[in-house]
Amino acid sequence: MTPPASRRGEPPFRADHVGSLLRPRRLLDARARHAEGALDDQELRSIEDDAIRDVVRMQEEVGLSSATDGEFRRASWHMDFIYQLGGITKAPGDLSVTFHNEQGDIEFTPAALQVSGKVGLDHTIFADDFAFLRDTVTTNTPKLTMPSPSMVHYRGGQASIDSDVYPDTEEFWNDLSAAYAEQIRRVGELGCSYLQLDDTSLAYLNDPRQRAMIDQRGDNGDSIHRRYISQINAALAGRPEGMRITTHMCRGNFRSSWVAEGGYDYIAEELFGNLGVDGYFLEFDDARSGGFEPLRFVPQGKYVALGLVTTKRGALESKDDLKRRIEEASRYIPLEQLCLAPQCGFSSTFEGNDLTYDEQVAKLRLIVETAAEVWG
């Protein structure tokens, strides 16, 4: 086993990763058979359990300090959680999100959502999933990922909230943050000490085209990031003692494609100065992601996992290039506050990105080895 890279006592770790991992073919086939009715729930879960045991062992063997379940029980990184919140229902029709890549555009079309009742927490979401991960790891810290409160609002905006249920929008925001606060408290009781809130909305809002889209639907694209930061903070206000919380912010990740472009400049000062998390997983794998200058706003005591290793392509980065970019980032934030990670998950939806399992493992191993050489 590769030795863990400069193992920090708490997350984010020097060598870390976002969360989702490529689904093995056996699991994809099982999910398809389950959807057809040829496999029952228990049979599917047994196959998921085996796949998760294998992927946890892989994370431990490459030398990572954290381990996720790869999000193997989910179809997508966010909607599987959001649809389980009380008051959130699937609406008729689909959402349509356009993703871009070097060959053209593709569409992501999840079911639309509607806030049709009072938002609350009917049960602890992902409770059994996290408990299985917690009991499966042997050396690593189990990490749970879930979408941030912002994602409930960003997809549909004000129009997705039933005005008969919430004539006062402030009541919606209060209920949403309260539901999240209760979810965080409950997973803390299950032993979760490493929680990540995934949030594409805050990264998207650096793109002027996304802010214009928000304006067109009736919200304020120039200032909505302040509302999102405030609501996340409200959800974190009663966080369990000892729980480390990070956020991951990328510009979209679906089948090796993306949605938004631009650096973190527009929201950087408020994001880094006001958001009450311990660390940030940020996307810096290409020119579309902008420069490191916004990192000058990260206060002492908070950490940034530089997403320098891309999950969108299988070609392996060079250690020298990664070290050079880490050195560039350290001109704006002390090296001690930096970590290394992929720019996003390898499989934000069950389809996964365009690379192989072996290429995924090689990238994780590269992160561990590079971090060990940089931080000792």
pLDDT tens for 140-161 read 999 999 999 999 998 788 889 9
Q: What is the mean pLDDT of residues 302-311?
A: 97
For position 259, what pLDDT does the model report?
Answer: 66
Neighbours of 122 (CB within 10 A): 10
Q: What is the pLDDT of residues 174-190, one digit of tens each?
A: 999 999 999 999 999 99
Q: What is the pLDDT of residues 40-57, one digit of tens each?
A: 999 999 999 999 999 999
For position 199, what pLDDT does the model report?
Answer: 94
CB 347 within 8 A of CB 21: yes
For position 1, what pLDDT does the model report?
Answer: 38
% of the chain at pLDDT higher than 90: 76
For position 4, what pLDDT does the model report?
Answer: 39
CA distance linking residue 71 with residue 146, whole number of Å: 10
pLDDT > 60? residue 3: no
CA dihedral over 127, 88, 182, 275, signed as positive or negative: positive
Length of the chain, in residues:
376
pLDDT winner (highest mean) among 93-107, 130-144, 201-215: 130-144
Residue ranges of E strands in the chain:
66-67, 86-94, 97-101, 104-108, 111-120, 141-142, 144-147, 194-198, 244-249, 279-283, 303-309, 338-342
86 CB-near residues (< 8 Å, 6+ apart): 117, 118, 119, 120, 121, 122, 179
Structure tokens that stand for 314 in this block: 């299988």
Q: What is the mean pLDDT of residues 289-308?
A: 96
**Unique residue bearing structure tokens 């999000």:** 71
**CA distance to 118, 152, 191, 232, 308, per residue, from 266 (Å):** 33, 22, 36, 19, 21
CB 197 within 8 A of CB 11: no
DSSP states of 211-280: HHHHHHTTS-TTTHHHHHHHHHHHHHTTPPTT-EEEEEE-S--BTTBBS--S-STTTHHHHHHH---SEE
Q: Which CATH class is domain 25-375?
A: alpha beta
Paired with 146 in beta bridges are 197
Amino acid, res. 307: G
For position 366, what pLDDT does the model report?
Answer: 98
Domain ranges within the chain, ordered by starting residue: 25-375
**CA distance to 52, 89, 310, 327, 344, per residue, from 333 (Å):** 36, 43, 22, 10, 21
Q: What is the mean pLDDT of residues 267-285?
A: 96
pLDDT band at 204 (very low <50, low <70, confident <90, very high): confident
pLDDT > 80? residue 254: no
Q: What is the mean pLDDT of residues 301-313?
A: 95
Mean pLDDT of the chain: 92
Q: What is the pLDDT of residues 119-137, one digit of tens each?
A: 999 999 999 999 999 999 9
Paired with 280 in beta bridges are 247, 304
Identify the residue with better confidence: 202 or 6: 202
